[in-house]
A and B are shown apart, each in its own frame.
Chain A
Amino acid sequence: MRKNYGPIYVAPIAFWLIAFLSVPLLITLSYSFMEKGLYGGVELKFSLAAYKSLLNTAVLKVLLNTIVIAVASTAIMVALALPTAYYIARSPVKNLLLMLIIIPFWTNFLIRIYAWIAILGSNGLLNSFLISTGLLDEHIQFLYNRYAIILVIIYTTIPFAIFPLYSTIEKFDFSLIEAAMDLGASKFRALWLVMIPNIRSGITTAILFTFIPTFGNFAVPQLVGGTDSWMLGNLIVRELNITRNWPLASSISVVLTSVTMIGVLFFMRSQSKKEL
């Protein structure tokens, strides 16, 4: 018999991920149960103060706003992505159409956000256009609110809904639709009753892949959101860098991670059910 070299191959990756992922996550978790230090950091004393301050109305408002934005953006993205993916999957030039969706993502994430600032900002294209056509007398601000955040999140995240949906729809056997129509279903009912149940795993993947980055988003609200449309990510950054309440920043991170994990577990359960 030979020596088993598996552990040797895996040692570097295991070491690296434990050192730079597991340990940091555990430290963060432990920080959330400690008292805040004077200039950032923590006092090594057990305390639930951070979790208590999560119940503060200001924090709850941010949490609610985050949920509203995440749910709304996810719903809109999946609703738009479903027909889009369906159209691409049924087209004879699938790859070309996929390229059309991908190309905008070849540019930097921040520049994609910036494009909307250039359009919606008070000196932006939309303002110039409305003023030059006389529809508007003075510059108004379309940015720095919840709707701008949702719009830009959709703009930057929608491919994560389109791709998984595309790949499941592409594998779907469309003769089933014809069979259903042959049996008297209208086309819409046939798609709804036959295709949707069969591409459920694509739909869950699309929901998960859009919800997680939206829920933990920080760059978009930072750049196009206002003070009354903050999301949890902004709160974490403020507590970390400005207020320097690290236990609070950690406890918000724990909440964010937990929500993500619940989503992932839910997803894995639905996937394993599908295999039965």
Chain B
Amino acid sequence: MLTIYLIILLGLSFVSYFYGKRLIRRRVYEQKISQHSRDSYHGLYLSLYLIIPSIILTLIWLASSPNIIDSLLKSKIKNSLPDLSLGEINILKSKVISAYDGILPVDSEQMEIFVGFYNSANIISTNFIIIISALVSVSFFLFALNRIRVRFNARSKVENILKFSMILASCVAIITTIGIVLSLIIETIEFFKIIKITDFLFGLQWSPQIALREDQVAGEGLFGAIPIFIGTILITLIAMFIAVPIGLLSAIYLSEYSKPKIRAIAKPMLEVLAGIPTVVYGFFAALTVAPFLRNSGASVGLSLSSESALAAGLVMGIMIIPLISSLSDDVINAVPQSLREGSAALGSTQSETVKLVILPAALPGIVSAILLALSRAIGETMIVVMAAGVAANLTFNPFESVTAVTVQIVVLLIGDQEFDSAKTLAAFALGFTLFIITLLLNVLSIYIVRKYREQYD
């Protein structure tokens, strides 16, 4: 229903574009004065006025109506079954919605009433928004139509509408981010009401396997985040240790030393490496690298567990090499050729030029490439699950199995969960901490780049 309406709206705005063009043509012809804006601006003016306000209205409605209908349903349930607890109302509500979606059978008369209510609320809501939106559309269209004159400045109006749409688009991105962060913060605060923040930040033991059922008492598990953060740090360090030198050196080789033909082949190949799904890296790590490491470790008398931080870190390093090398290659290439010439003309060797001129000039870009890779490594989950394990050991030994923050988040949220149990909330706390860390990294990178710029530009 709504879809049909939107298609019709789109079609109408298309038609009104041509209508606006024809209208202004005719007016100019009749009045024989030169027009202010070109025909197409008048057409656009009409069609944008027709479509934009009503589309925005519809979107807002679509975003907010489920909540409204939900709360309507809740109060309906509450009215007809006054002695249900809040939790029971919520459960019943979810059942009704599932039944409406056809997932659950409608098994009781009462259920049928609720589903019917929910259904009609939805239909009313849709009809309502279509009527309102159509009214808005028509009135804006008439308003615009009335303003079209030969000397009317449609161009600047259209420009303004376009500018406004762009502002709106960027607002959507910003608001979404703020929303996500806010919900993270709120749930994290909830978590810290159950678990002491110091226990979380400084606790040395992580074993959150509690509260699988509602009647279990929360707070029995141990939520010391240190071991899993150490795990993340350990794996990330190994990965960066591999990826930064290899990535940088290959970037320098590609951009400064290699022949164009080699570059033309090597660069796309590196970028293909970046396109391999992380799961593939994951089983490569688990099935090839880890056994290989264990065997070669055994042959020199080292005992490696079959899942180890080293295996995960190694493969993760390989995964982020192309990220570093490709981005660094781009920034190195962006260093003006005239600087290379200037350095060469003073009698410096190629490696002196790279070391003293190219790398310093490209440093801000390289730093941000590395930090981007770092955030990527910190956020990586798949490889760690498959190659490093899920056991939260507190160890700095790269030969032992460790786990990472992201992996624990997945583990915490797998399966049916009580939404407000400490276990589920812990996932938010972990996510929030991770977010803070990546945020700090980004701030750091901006700071480094700024500082460098101040010095040289």
- Tell me, yes or no, whether A binds B: no
Q: Which residues of B contact A (CB under 8 A)?
A: none
Interface residues of A (CB under 8 A from B): none
